[in-house]
Structure 1
């Protein structure tokens, strides 16, 4: 466990922090139908070049960006395409959005046919050179955080779209109306607040259980926080029984299981809806999420004011102290076989420097000299959490996960609903042990 470096601390003191979703597994997907939109707009140009080694004339042709932000199709991405073309009049960008980003992208890169720019899926870093072009010539390496997260043998193959930390996003009015005068700092206080919310007629916690992807913190960020160990997920590769009731994985999932048993989740967890839940948090029908700071702007845009949305660290025990995950979100990668390589790289650089996506998405900027715009991070930091800075997945752990076909969010679902959660852990441990043996041969 380690504190964030001085530069991170400086950013915190300025009113923000630096992070990302190891989820990158950190999924900022939206539960909408798969969509694609092509946008082309002619405009006058600026004269800047797209990358350190690319001439203006090289930035031409049409590229496609594969994204998980289905909600931005026909909206913000139209503006992005227009602005990118204003800078590079000989270039155009199209956007294709999918809901199951990781799975879809893996299938497409394995086929050898995938778009010019993608968000890099969960593949071993040693495989990155097989699919992606190095981005070291963009002149960003010394200006960004997490540059080693998607790197191999000294070359950078992915640049994070931004960062986030995970905590409780809550409706302040719902808390006040329920008689909650201060945010919970211990697990017992968290359950007590949930009981007050339930008694006031508010659904305490939005799990979006059916949508599955929203459950990622319970099997990744929260266990790492409980353990105070950024390498927890990687260390699974050293054992045949990574999941036990009394280790950080079991402890984290037991909290949401308890919430379910006490009636603190949605009344019908099998008919939840992600887009509607944002409106319900905004209105106060639901009171809380456990998600990254990236969701805060989406809640505000769904019908409330920034002053009504708060953010605090998830209390997972009764010590009054908390660790929180600090990790990059999805990373932009460029198809090494793109017909318009210079244009694809220029688009990545433009997304990082000029698009404003990090502010729109509620991310902590990946650029070291840019301050985050999410005001709620000030409240979050006032609780003095200890940040656990994410590390890259090792080849060993990634190989076992892929061989065992472990979907951590599915594990959470099964654990919560099982009559005997130990049997679920036994099942996943068995799959893990077989996969571990297979990849070690």
Structure 2
């Protein structure tokens, strides 16, 4: 029997230590798609330039046995979808028993408590810890044969080994009410910025608010400052290039071009009449009813619009045509990452379960994600429509720790900067203000 008092003290000390080492900035470039209204920002892991290694494939089928525990945040799936998954999983792996454990509180904190106690479940999602800590707790997953097939393989890798695989990915685009489009005489989705503006004008003339921005709430503007600048620049590492300059915000780079699009939509009257008094919950109902026509948000919002009072076949999804080239690019961001505990008594069984969840479960369709496997087409109607446009999905990169440090020192809030830019008489003055703050913080930190 363990000394409970000693264990409790040890856990408290270790959680405190993990909290310090795991502290980091929000990686706003990689907002996770969740079941909540606002997608939760994920903490940027440490970057690594090392390529994942390839090892012999793990054992499979009836050769593997054992009992494993999967700690999950999807409490809504226990006793439902997970039961169905387990039935199909056991058809392939009859000797593996899987127990699903629900995280009833903050998943990140609960996971850290388990890590501190040294009593990790066999399979879990990786909490916010530095990538350098991954080998301390988790087993490498390179032997699953998935390393070259998955997206974001570098996000949870360290020194050339893969420790985490994304459960699914999200993208951002125009979520729209098909009936509102049809009633306004829009027969095809726009493929250029001019076509997009023309569609907005038709919607406005029909008495429909073209785009719900939820400007006042600020967080719905995230993609205008985190995703669009990098796809306009054609460079997934564009945000990290701020390290090389004292004037990262200019009218002719990704930031200026992106925010100028949002500013133009407001000036033409294509956003809410009073953008300083928007209401997020009401906007979902307004999109569902056709009072508003569009959102520019992640695919995670599609099911919320349907749930607000419309049918799935009335909701569409297409990439934002941010210029007139006709070429479409959209951001791609990961959600939680599966991991296998290093000290699991049944590592092979745990790895088999992770591999099956990635390749065979269909979880990405249930959760509304794009598959973590490169090139795999979604079974969801809206994502099929999105992918059928020929859009190129640009994987985000990890935020450089120095960029995060300077950003925090400068107290730079990019969505708030977007608000200032859109409403300013002279948007250049907004950039001048934040360039000055950036340059000072960069100098003060010795960068």
TM-score (structure 1 length as normaliser): 0.71
Higher relative contact order (CA 8 A, sep 6+): 1
Residues 91-146 of structure 1: per-residue CA shift (max 9 Å, x gap): 33113476xx9xxx59996998699644655x765565577654445554344233
Aligned residue runs from structure 1 range 354-393, under 5 A: 355-368=361-374, 370-381=376-387, 383-393=389-399
Gaps of 5+ in 1: 1-21, 35-50, 67-71
Choose the corresponding residue for 2:264, options 253, 258, 266.
258
State the distance in 2 between where 1:124 and 1:216 align: 24
Choose the corresponding residue for 1:25, options 23, 30, 35.
30
- The match for 1:192 is 198
In structure 2, the CA distance between the partners of 1:345 and 1:194, relative to structure 1 (3 Å rule), is same
- The match for 2:68 is 59
Mean Cα displacement is larger for which, 363-372 or 379-388?
Answer: 379-388
Helix, strand or coil at the partner of 1:59: strand
Q: CA deviation at 1:25?
A: 1.6
Decide whether the 8 Å contact of 1:219 with 1:249 is kept in 2.
Answer: yes
Choose the corresponding residue for 1:328, options 328, 333, 353.
333
TM-score (structure 2 length as normaliser): 0.70
Bigger radius of gyration among the two = 2
Q: CA deviation at 1:174?
A: 0.4
Helix, strand or coil at the partner of 2:80: helix
Q: CA deviation at 1:248?
A: 1.4
State the distance in 1 between where 2:350 and 2:283 align: 35
Decide whether the 8 Å contact of 1:208 with 1:272 is kept in 2.
Answer: yes
Helix, strand or coil at the partner of 2:257: helix
Gaps of 5+ in 2: 1-26, 41-57, 91-95
- The match for 1:432 is 438
Helix, strand or coil at the partner of 1:363: coil
Q: CA deviation at 1:401?
A: 4.0
- The match for 1:295 is 301
State the distance in 1 between where 2:346 and 2:244 align: 40
Decide whether the 8 Å contact of 2:152 with 2:395 is kept in 1.
Answer: no
Decide whether the 8 Å contact of 1:124 with 1:395 is kept in 2.
Answer: no
- The match for 1:231 is 237
Choose the corresponding residue for 1:94, options 102, 107, 132.
102
Decide whether the 8 Å contact of 2:329 with 2:391 is kept in 1.
Answer: yes
Q: CA deviation at 1:154?
A: 0.8
State the distance in 2 between where 1:350 and 1:403 align: 44
State the distance in 1 between where 2:399 and 2:418 align: 20
Alpha-carbon RMSD? 4.1
In structure 2, the CA distance between the partners of 1:133 and 1:401, relative to structure 1 (3 Å rule), is farther
Residues 192-222 of structure 1: per-residue CA shift (max 9 Å, x gap): 3223212322221122334433322211221
State the distance in 2 between where 1:340 and 1:402 align: 42
- The match for 1:215 is 221
